[in-house]
Structures are given as C-alpha cells and as structure tokens.
Structure 1
C-alpha cells in the first residue's frame, strides 16, 4: 500500500461524472416541482415563496433602508439608488448585548428600533425623503427560522445562534419591530422580510448591465449555500388560491422563490457519499439534513480534507513519524480546525517543494510534512474543491433548465453570486462552469451564461426587497 495509490483511489472517488451531473439536474427539478406544489415531502426542497414580486432593472431611484439581525451584530444601512445601476451605501454596526439575547422581545426590539433611530438622526436628519410626510421603506433581514405569509409578515418558529427569547416565538417579528419603531416615532415602515439569497438576486439585478442578460438566479456559496430564482406565479401551486388571485389582480406574474437548496437530495439518491462525508455528517447537529451543503460549502471542505488526512495516517502511509492517532498534532485531531482558506492557499501553491503549503500547514495545524506528503495533500485538496464546484453546478443548471431560460437563440442569462467560496476560492467559478457545460444546459448554454459577484448582496438586496411593497 503506497501513499500515491491510496491518494489516487480517493481522488477517483471524489470525481463527479457527467452522468452524476445530469442525474442531479433531473433529481433537482423533480424535487423543486414537488416543493412548489406542497410542503408535504420532508425530504424535498422547501421552495419557500418570498412574496417578492418585482425585480429591479437598475433604473430605480431613492433612498431605502435595510436592517440585518444575523447573529450577535445588528446592522442598519441606507442605500441611495441613483437610477443608473449604481448606489451609495452607508452602514452602521452595533453589537447585541449578551443580556438582550435571553431577555424579552420588547427589550430586544426596543434596542433595535433605537439603533435605527440613531442611524437616521446621524445620516438622514434633514432628508427630503421624509419631508413630504412619507416614511422610509425598510427591508429586514432576520436570519432565524420564520414562516412567511406575506412580504411583510413572518412568524418566528424558533431561535438559533445563541438567542433564547421564548415570548417572541410564534409572534410576527415585523409587527413587533414596527410597534417599537412607531413608539419612538421613527419615520420607517418595515416593508419586507428579506433573505440574503433573495437579496443577492435583487442586488445583482439592480447593478448588472443588461448586456449580460436578465438576472434569473441569485446564489450563495460561502460558509453555507443557497439559491433563489424568479418563478411564474401560476407554478407556485402551494400559495393559497385567494392570495394568488389577489396578486394576479395586482398584475403580478412572477414571484421570487427561496429554494433552500442546502437540503437538496437529503436521501442521497444522486449525491456522492464517501466514508468521509458520513464522518462529517456525524459531527453535525442536523444529521441527515443539508446533505448538499455538507459537500459544497466552505464550512465543510476543510473538515472533509482533515478526515482524509487522519484516515491516511491510520493506514500508515502518511505522517509516519506519529505512532498512533493520539500522538497526531492536537489541531489535526480537532474537528473544524482546518479552515477552507488554508485549502485555497494549497490549491494554487506552485512554489519550490510546495514551501507555501508547508508553511500554511505548520501555522494552521502545527503539522510538519514531507515534500511527498505535501504533493499528496495538494492533490486531495484539489479533488475536494473540484467536487464541490461540480456539485454546485447542479442547482444552477437545474433552475435554468426548468425555467427554459435559454429559449430564443440570442438570450444571455446572468446569475448573481455571493459568498467567500465563489468569490475567493481559486478557480471555483471556472470549475463550476465546466460542470454546467456537461449538464443538460450543454456547452452552448454555458457560453451564454454569466456568473457575476453581487457585492453587498445582503444589505443592498434587503433594501431592494422593500420595493416589492405596493404603496
């Protein structure tokens, strides 16, 4: 048993074939259509209607606000839309005091409202926006599980990320927030509950030039992964009939759908499942769920590689100076200690004897390596990352295929992307496009596809969500 032969076996196991890509696209479309019809399939795709019914085209003007409660920080920003695809962003960040994370909903939302008040006094004291008695529209990114029943209504299902405020569960968070803004007489209407993936789609739609086609999909490949797209209203069968008829009467034809594609193929009918994927899944709090995300997103790539390295040591072909598992460097034995940022450095290392990789592994894992080991680690890193990029192609190709995006021979299509992996991992977008060309979209469709980074997607996009509100 040699190191080279063991590494080659793993690289082969991580290869994603054209057949897997095409089966993946078919499976995604099947689950997406089922999710648009109902929420009954717990293994399906959630396909959440967002009630965002208008996509910006870059000509919008005015000032919109966004507020983002994503964890221990609260961000307020204003977006000045210039009507020419450009914008000016001002933002202010506040830390959430620890005691407010387990207090009452009134105490938390009173604090959030006071931060919006301070922001407006600081940056928009004499704004013409409110001089005619109109209020600022605000898009609220609330990154906790909610059931959304309208653009500006969502009931909190449960807290995550260290928050525990029981009296808020079951309440409409928009109503609670609005009541505290009103109590302080802040001239703001919370017009939309926003999602960062939807925000990415809207932000790219606003900033993109029409030369690259209409933006049809917004996606995030960062710590996690998700996507949203614009769907015909008539295809979202699970929206109650009376709501659909009301929207139709207002002239609405499409609605943005949040796919929550991190949950794609939880049953693993087409996704690859190596023993390392099984081990990583065992370490998570949501075992058996988010199986797509656990193979694709930045949070998991380093952990998959760490398991491979520990396994190769156990087979006696790597790090042979360490006698047993317990003697390995502590960081190599610690889950989640190998960051995907380290992988991106290894990916492009072309230094003599891979000295940059040697330095990186010593710094991050306190792990000394031989040249042979470093070459093997680079090969494995590239296999893990390439598999991620190839799998990432599946939902994008599926949504474009499902919506017949390329109908008409001169159609160009734009995809807005955000997140550290798609923006900074070397070659990720190129590999993803190579894979898209092997799906049902084909090389002809891939050539007409543009994947562009949507900067400030969560703030600008949240503000733009508020534009869907009918005055």
Structure 2
C-alpha cells in the first residue's frame, strides 16, 4: 500500500523512474550531439526545426595518438567542483606516476563571488610554490570552456554554484600568464587547458593499450556530470574550415558538456527547484543526476510529498526545521534508515521510513537511467564497443559514482540490460588514481603549442 501510494505521487508529478524511456532518450541525446558538431548557425536552425537543444560538443584539439612522455615533470592544476588541486607529476617508464608538492585549496568562487582579477590572483597564489618546477602546466578545468586550436580555453560559464561572472569569456591561459606577470612570477609557460572528462580519458588511456581496447571514454559523475569521447576529426563539421587537412585526417577528443542536455521529460518539481538555483534554465541534465543536486531535488520532492499528506504529522513538524538536504544525507538514510541521520530522526514510524525510502530510491533509479543513456550515446556516436573482446574503456571519476550506495549497482543493471543486451555494445569500467592529474600532465606534455 505504501509503495503504491508513493508510485501514484511520482506518476502525478512526472517523476517515476519507470517512465524514463531509454531508447527514446538515447535517440534524443544523439540528435543533440550531432547538432552540436555543426556550425552554430546551421545547428540553431536545425535545432529549432527539431525542437532539440544542441550540446556544446567542444573540440579539444587534443590528439589521443601521442605517446606518453616519461621522466618529464609537469605542473598540474585541477579546478573541480569543490576543491582546487595543485601538484607536480612525473610519469616514470614503468607507467607509475610520481606526484609531489600536492596541495588542496578551496575552489575560487565557491565560497562567494570573485572578480576576474581576484579569481586569477587566487590561482597564482596556489601556483607560487611550484611555478619554477616545470615549464609545462596542464590545467584540468572542470567547467564549460571552448578550447582553442592552441589549447587555451575560453570560459563559457560556471556550474556547481561557483560565482565568478567576470571570468566568463576570458582566455584561461592568457589571463593566468598575465596574473603571473603581475605578481613578478615566471609566466612564459606552455599551458594546456582541458576538461576533467578529457583528463579522465587520457589518464585511463595512460595505463592501458589500444591494442586490447576499442576506444576510450572519460566519464565524470560527481559534483557535476560530463563525458568525453574520441571522434573522427572530419566529422566535427564546425571546424572543417578552420583547421588543417592534417588535423581533419586524425581523431580528436570531444568534450560533450552533457550536463547541459535537455531531457525529454521535465517535472513541475524539477522546474521549481531549477528556479531557485544560480543558473535557472541551464544544466538541466546535471540537476537531475549529479551529486550537487540530488539532495536538493530530494528536498523539493519531500516538501511536495508533505503537501500531498504522504507523511505523518510528526515527520512534517520535524522536517520543517530541515532547510538543506545533501546527497550524503540521502546516502546516510539509505544505509541506516533507523540511524542517527537527520532524515532518519525525522521519521515517526516505519510508514514514514518506507515512504522516504521509496522516494529517495526513485531519485537514484532515475538518475542512473539518465547516466547510462549518456554513456550509451557516447558509444553509439563514436561507433565503438561492438566487439566484446575489445570493449571500450570507460574511465569513471567522481564522488557520486564511487561513494553513493545506489548509483553503481543501478548503473550496472542498466549497462547490462540496455547497453549490452539491447544495443549489443560492450564496455570496461575503469578507475584510476589521480586520473585527472595524470591526464592533465599528458595533455600538456604531448600537445604543446606549435
């Protein structure tokens, strides 16, 4: 009875995970990807005709074919959703990375709005102790950035509630060099900007052989969500007129910026949540999958369930004092519904606990289905993974995937049932330690500017 009551509520508000049509969503996702590879004017026209929002599909100009350089130190930066990491990394001939001078700082703009000057000055402050240890800097920038042919990056926007609006539009490498110069520090550096999904892909490839695996995908499922895959350069229509025939003859990593994908279904509760974020109307896919938003989405769902009288008076009274729910809070509850977590303590009885369980389980079930759709789209678009003897390597990074109680097992189910059994595609899920740092170093050392 309790489960059917929750099911009726979820169906009423278009939140039932069972209603996510994997095949239809995949087709829609692939169309968004294909449009994103077209020149902007053509993409916009076709998007309007088809009622689809193109994905950014950002070319990286990073060649995956180059050999991994050994015994060369590289300064590596990793601007993530919460932290900003700095280190010096050297890949040894045994393919074991040596990481020194490792430090973790708060991500600039995560604790309050910063000006452009303040943003880059913060990074210089982090760089100061290591700036003389290498002439190469690999900068893993986990936010939307348009990569230029000389491997700089123009910031397109910030996600994950980072606030630095003046930085949008700036060239990261150029402005970082100017900031170094302003602080009388060495600024004549080879700086290579790449996304965290690209770094994950390169980091995974560094330890594996292309002779054994069909291709490589980088997948981030943490504070945010994104994928990178390897595309035939000539199929990236929007760069055909601006690059050399030599570039078009090879392969290039594409940063899909899949967090901006607009799913087929959107519920009234998700719209309400979206309106309360710092970037309403944007990152809609990310807002129903990533660790930054699963707790927030659940908060809105529980509040609406209270309005629909699903919970006891005791729960309603206790939940009035809860203004924030994090993904960790959800995990704490699912691991220990009778424990000391704030969600557990809000429940009066097993009916409250069961309703809360089914609501949270549905949030993760739905998120897992969408996450697998994104992976399937990358496989289909890259035309890889067809041979079970040579699967595509998917290097996954991110706290939501590895720390959540439910995501891994639910994704594994849909990988088997949808990707393997329906699409007949095959993957090897891969985890690397410090993959972002390894990938950033490889990008900087193997893709130097001409």
TM-score by length of 2: 0.83
- 1:419 corresponds, among 398, 415, 420, to 398
Partner residue, 1:463 = 441
Tell me which moved more, 274-283 or 377-386.
274-283
| Structure 1 residue 119, shift from structure 2 partner | 1.9
Partner residue, 1:245 = 245
1 CA distance for matches of 2:286 and 2:136? 33
How do 1:267-278 and structure 2 match up within 5 A? Answer: 268=263, 270=264, 272-278=265-271
How do 1:61-460 and structure 2 match up within 5 A? Answer: 61-69=71-79, 74-90=84-100, 91-93=102-104, 105=117, 109=120, 112-113=123-124, 115-119=126-130, 124=133, 136-142=135-141, 146-156=145-155, 161-163=162-164, 171-179=170-178, 181=180, 184=184, 186=186, 189-208=189-208, 213-245=213-245, 247-248=247-248, 253-264=250-261, 266=262, 268=263, 270=264, 272-321=265-314, 327=317, 329-332=319-322, 334=323, 337-349=324-336, 354-356=337-339, 359-361=340-342, 367-408=346-387, 410-439=389-418, 441-442=420-421, 445=424, 448-460=426-438
Partner residue, 2:50 = none
In structure 2, do the counterparts of structure 1 residues 255 and 18 end up closer, same or farther at CA, with 3 Å as the change threshold?
farther
Residue deviations 1:285-330, cap 9 Å, x none? 33333221121111222222222322232233313237xx7x5544
In structure 2, do the counterparts of structure 1 residues 328 and 97 end up closer, same or farther at CA, with 3 Å as the change threshold?
closer
Partner residue, 1:129 = none
In structure 2, do the counterparts of structure 1 residues 88 and 55 end up closer, same or farther at CA, with 3 Å as the change threshold?
farther
2 CA distance for matches of 1:96 and 1:23? 37
| Structure 1 residue 66, shift from structure 2 partner | 1.1
The alignment partner of 2:433 has SS state of coil
Runs of 5+ consecutive residues of structure 1 not aligned to the other structure? 125-134
2 CA distance for matches of 1:241 and 1:50? 16
Partner residue, 1:7 = 6
2 CA distance for matches of 1:11 and 1:155? 41
TM-score by length of 1: 0.79
Root-mean-square deviation (CA, aligned residues, Å) is: 3.5
Larger radius of gyration: 1
Does structure 2 conserve the Cα–Cα contact (< 8 Å) formed by 1:199 and 1:460?
yes
The alignment partner of 2:136 has SS state of strand
1 CA distance for matches of 2:294 and 2:121? 40
In structure 2, do the counterparts of structure 1 residues 319 and 442 end up closer, same or farther at CA, with 3 Å as the change threshold?
same
| Structure 1 residue 211, shift from structure 2 partner | 8.8
In structure 2, do the counterparts of structure 1 residues 278 and 163 end up closer, same or farther at CA, with 3 Å as the change threshold?
closer
Does structure 2 conserve the Cα–Cα contact (< 8 Å) formed by 1:178 and 1:190?
no
Does structure 1 conserve the Cα–Cα contact (< 8 Å) formed by 2:222 and 2:401?
yes
Task: Work out the number of aligned pairs and report it.
Answer: 433
2 CA distance for matches of 1:314 and 1:25? 34
2 CA distance for matches of 1:296 and 1:144? 16
Does structure 1 conserve the Cα–Cα contact (< 8 Å) formed by 2:3 and 2:358?
no
Residue deviations 1:256-300, cap 9 Å, x none? 111010111x2x4x3x33332232222223333322112111122
